[in-house]
């Protein structure tokens, strides 16, 4: 049974083809780092994987539940995924506290109008907040927090229900160096110890190099999965270019079928 399989996915946004062909498969609990230049379609691909954007072709399989282009995205798949959106799309003006935002990561998986919070909601929230070092800011409005604190609150929201799959869109941006390492260690433990699968977008090639089992390169309308054995090749390729000109263009097609 695969954990995630994406096949022949084509995605259009605003009348433009953003992803022409994404095909990759992850068969065991893995730490997958997604890299690619600005505007390449990383966020678009992740939003499609959680059903926020409908693909025009192809299919997505999450733990053997399949959704094809044109079909309604099943709630049963969404329940398996914890999603952290890229921070620039959050509406800061909504007057919610950090605690309320973390709790919304549990509530979104319950069926309204029968929504009853689990009795242990406080311990779930306090536990994840403690692990991310945000227990002392849970009472504050989200809008009052620093960029890095907001990132951690959104990460806690994605993690609070302990989902099988975590899809995290730039969770490390704005986060200080010490917290970055702590978060990466925490996520790696989730993969190694608890058998979760993490997909994490970053622009930090070092993170891709040092922490991932796989690197998913998104560029030129394609998404290509490299196993960790090939990460060195990816890195060598990237380092040929000055940082500002780095373009990620996979030259081979070794997606893991
Ligand atoms: N709602 C939208 N309407 C029109 N075009 C969009 C929309 N959302 C994204 N796009 C376009 O789709 C392309 C891919 O955007 P996306 O946000 O997926 O890129 P990204 O790889 O996540 O970039 P970044 O590294 O900057 O986050 C871009 O050209 C963007 O302008
Ligand atoms: Mg993005």
Domains of the chain, with CATH numbers? Answer: 1-80+212-257 (3.40.50.300)
pLDDT score at 62: 95
Q: In what order do the strands lie in the sheet with 4-13?
A: 65-68, 57-62, 4-13, 16-26, 222-227, 214-219, 31-35, 197-201, 165-169, 81-84
Residues pairing with 166 in the sheet: 82, 198
CA distances (Å), origin 36, targets 110, 189, 225, 246: 34, 25, 12, 9
Q: How far apart are the first and last CA of the chain?
A: 13
Q: What is the C-alpha separation between 152 and 149, in angstroms, rounded? A: 5
Q: Is the CB of 85 under 6 A from ligand 1?
A: no
pLDDT at 171 over 50: yes
Mutate to test the pocket of ligand 1, among 10, 19, 41, 45 (most ligand atoms within 8 A of CB): 41
Nearest CA, atom 26, ligand 1: 38
Q: Which of 41-45, 61-65, 233-237 has the lowest mean pLDDT?
A: 233-237
In this predicted model, which residue has the larger pLDDT, 250 or 116? 116
pLDDT band at 254 (very low <50, low <70, confident <90, very high): very low
pLDDT score at 90: 59
Over range 54-81, report the average pLDDT: 92
Q: Is the CB of 113 under 6 A from ligand 1?
A: no
pLDDT at 240 over 60: no
pLDDT score at 250: 39
pLDDT score at 84: 94
pTM for the complete prediction?
0.87
pLDDT at 152 over 50: yes
Alpha helices in the chain (DSSP H): 42-49, 75-78, 98-107, 121-132, 147-159, 177-192, 205-211, 231-239
Task: Report the separation in Å between the CA atom of 39 and the middle of ligand 1, taken as the mean of its atom positions.
Answer: 5
In this predicted model, which residue has the larger pLDDT, 148 or 29? 29
Q: Which of 79-83, 161-165, 214-218, 240-244 has the lowest mean pLDDT?
A: 240-244
Q: What is the C-alpha separation between 31 and 34, in angstroms, rounded? A: 10
Q: Which of 4-18, 118-132, 188-202 has the lowest mean pLDDT?
A: 118-132
Mutate to test the pocket of ligand 1, among 10, 13, 37 (most ligand atoms within 8 A of CB): 13
Q: Is the CB of 126 under 6 A from ligand 1?
A: no
Nearest CA, atom 28, ligand 1: 39
Q: Is the CB of 15 under 6 A from ligand 1?
A: no
Q: What is the pLDDT of residues 17-45, one digit of tens each?
A: 999 999 999 999 999 999 988 899 999 99
């Amino acid at each position: 049974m695969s954990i995630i399989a994406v096949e022949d996915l084509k995605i259009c946004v605003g009348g433009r083809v953003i992803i022409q062909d994404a095909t990759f498969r992850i068969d065991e609990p893995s730490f997958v780092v997604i890299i690619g230049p600005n505007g390449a379609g990383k966020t678009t691909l992740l939003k499609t994987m959680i059903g926020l954007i409908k693909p025009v072709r192809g299919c997505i399989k999450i733990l053997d539940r399949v959704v094809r282009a044109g079909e309604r995205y099943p709630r049963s798949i969404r329940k398996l995924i914890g999603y952290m959106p890229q921070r620039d799309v959050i509406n800061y003006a909504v007057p919610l506290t950090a605690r309320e935002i973390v709790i919304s990561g549990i509530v979104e998986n319950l069926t309204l109008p029968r929504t009853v919070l689990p009795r242990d909601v406080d311990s779930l929230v306090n536990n994840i907040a403690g692990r991310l070092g945000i227990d002392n800011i849970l009472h504050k409005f989200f809008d009052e927090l620093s960029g890095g604190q907001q990132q951690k609150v959104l990460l806690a929201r994605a993690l609070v229900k302990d989902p099988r799959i975590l899809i995290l869109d730039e969770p490390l941006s704005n986060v200080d160096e010490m917290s970055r390492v702590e978060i990466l260690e925490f996520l790696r433990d989730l993969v190694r110890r608890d058998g979760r699968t993490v997909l994490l977008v970053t622009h930090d090639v070092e993170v891709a190099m040092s922490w991932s089992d796989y690197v998913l390169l998104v560029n030129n309308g394609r998404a290509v999965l490299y196993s960790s054995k090939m990460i060195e090749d990816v890195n060598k390729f990237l380092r040929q270019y000055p940082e500002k000109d780095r373009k990620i263009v996979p030259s081979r097609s070794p997606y893991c079928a």
